[in-house]
Amino acid sequence: MNAANAIEDAKERIRKSIMVFNNAVELTDNLEIIGTAYPVAEDGGVDVTRDEVFILRDNSKPEGTDGAFVEVAISEIVAKATDTDKAREFIDVIESRRPSIVLRGVTRIVGYYSSVQNWNRSKVGELRDRAGGSYGLTGKEPRFHNNRMAAIDSL
């Protein structure tokens, strides 16, 4: 097998694992994939040296200090979600035994990624104005739009 074929095989394996994982999450009652992100570095910036993660929301848990979100490294998904049965086992572990995280608000509104917790009133107002816009392709209001607006209002 040449290098190009090996790369294509790896890409296909990754794509299949992520698809199997996504399908398994969609079959759960409580989990929802929010998106992907890079973990936060100690200085509050983005840590691109660590694996990119999927952010999952556990709808059975309230947001706040307990956390309703879970990080799952994409490399872990590729290693563990090799077929439907393995993906279900992996989802069971995520639902039962994964520590929750509390997401911090970070945005690129000022030209670079910045934590929103220390913004002044005018920047928070700008964020609120932009968050009120409809940028989705479906024309529907995002599922957690009201929660997002409440979080912005609490800054």
pLDDT tens track for 89-147: 888 888 877 766 666 666 666 566 666 767 788 888 887 877 776 666 666 666 667 77
Give the per-residue pLDDT at 35.
82
- Assigned token pair, 132: 């009120």
Q: Identify which has the larger pLDDT, 46 or 74.
A: 74
Give me the amino acid identity at 1: M
CB 69, CB 103: distance < 8 Å: yes
Q: Which domain holds residue 124?
A: 104-155
Q: Are 114 and 146 contained in the same domain?
A: yes
Q: Which of 103, 119, 137 is the last residue of a domain?
A: 103
* Structural domains counted in the chain: 2
Q: pLDDT of 8-28, one tens digit each?
A: 888 888 889 889 988 888 888
Q: Are 108 and 43 contained in the same domain?
A: no
Q: How far apart are CA 41 and CA 106, in angstroms?
A: 13
Q: How far apart are CA 84 and CA 82, in angstroms?
A: 7
Note if the pTM is more than 0.75. no
Q: Are 59 and 135 contained in the same domain?
A: no
Q: Are 30 and 76 contained in the same domain?
A: yes
Q: Are 54 and 127 contained in the same domain?
A: no
Q: How far is CA 97 from CA 5, 34, 136, in A?
A: 38, 19, 33
Give the per-residue pLDDT at 129.
79
